Structure 1
Amino acid sequence: MNMTPPAYKDEQDGLVANGHDPEARAEPRRVILTATTPGSISERLLHALRLEFPWCDVERVSRVDAACTAFAHPVALILVDAQLMKAVEEASAALSRQHPQAIAALIEVDDHKPVSSINEVLASRVIRGVLPMNLGLDAWLAVIRLMLCGGEYYPPRMLRAFAERHSLPIGPRTRLPHGRENDITELTAREMQILEMVSRGLQNKTIAAEFRLSEHTVKIHLHNIISKLGAHNRTEAAARFRYFQERSVPSSSGEY
């Protein structure tokens, strides 16, 4: 499996990144913290995180109380084993106080048979997403990137089960509680084309030339794309596109 991280340019934030060149990304170091029981996340995946996000330190603890301490850099993302969710809820105040900038996500080994229900996750005081471990590596890293950008992710299977239990209509445009399902199918054909080019790191000027549009029109399209997806910026929108693109291709293996 190709583990080479993509390069991209974020014109709004003025950031240029390449997974093999930490100096090319002009942003402070952050920490990805995993609070996991033995065997929940492999050393191979931790190594993949370090390769994909070289501006992040990847730290690992086995107890929630060990996560409620200061690290060398601000914690941006906390990945929590589903088995530790109760402990995380009990320590929610301490975690929020110690890591105010962090997003916490629940690790589920298999989103077909999750340990936690979406009801529990939505009611959580600290959890803001779910990270399935049965994804292909590229899709898995795309979800991590989305979360590092401040986005939330909930597996479609868990959301669908929630909709069925609550008798909500299920369809390609189903809207679930809190607007947490941002459907990429709402984009027009032109918006999809532009988002695909943004995901490849192309600048507005290049995109405008490709479609014979003005840069102003491209910016309007990007504004609409970001609004429809509920993203914070073009980087997050591109990360969502890459995830959906990878998710549509069946993985040859769910093993890591």
Structure 2
Amino acid sequence: MANNKIVGPAPATEAAVACVSASELLVAALRKQLADVNSIALYRSGAAAIDPTGSFALVLIDLGSISIDECLELFKTLHQTPVALVNANHDAALLLMEKYPWIKGVFYRSCSRGVFEQGMEKLVSGGDWLPRALMERLIDRYRHLARSYDVVSQLSKREKQILFLAGQGLSNVDIANRIHLSIHTVKSHVHRALRKLGAANRTQAASMVLGHAESSP
């Protein structure tokens, strides 16, 4: 069997939807659901097969056919092309959405045909389709990040610097030597920062500061 084949009259570069899957059932469902779409490009061997020059309105990735590692490699070639995950589980979907927020749709393995058809109609029209449980988890995560951002903003520049270095794996002694302070002064900064952040320990506080740095423009 060839690595990829095109289902529909147009070449891959003109396809409206690309599907990375080895499932004939999924392809049959797409043919029926997307009868009005110009063409569907079907890729059977993951990231190595997909046409990097293709211009797709949506790429469906069947997590029942490729591994998470293959999916991560595929995302590198898709840049910010809209993506929907099919046959996903909650944890895998959450992991991928945190890394690639332009994922527009997620269908769990347990979703019914009716839900799949309704979701695909929404996605093809330019909307989003995410399970409620996943949306609630993402909202909770973003709220936590927002609270952390506000709290970290209250730290002094020196406190942020010390916790950032701690997050890089440096001990208090290493930090003191790096920024030319006494070990007592470094410990005092860490203690004050822990109190401001409400963090249980140095590791948790450093993680909050690193997360703040990554989310800052």
TM-score scaled by length of structure 1: 0.40
Greater fraction helix:
2
Q: Which has the higher contact order (CA 8 A, sep 6+)?
A: 1
Q: Rg larger in 1 or in 2?
A: 2
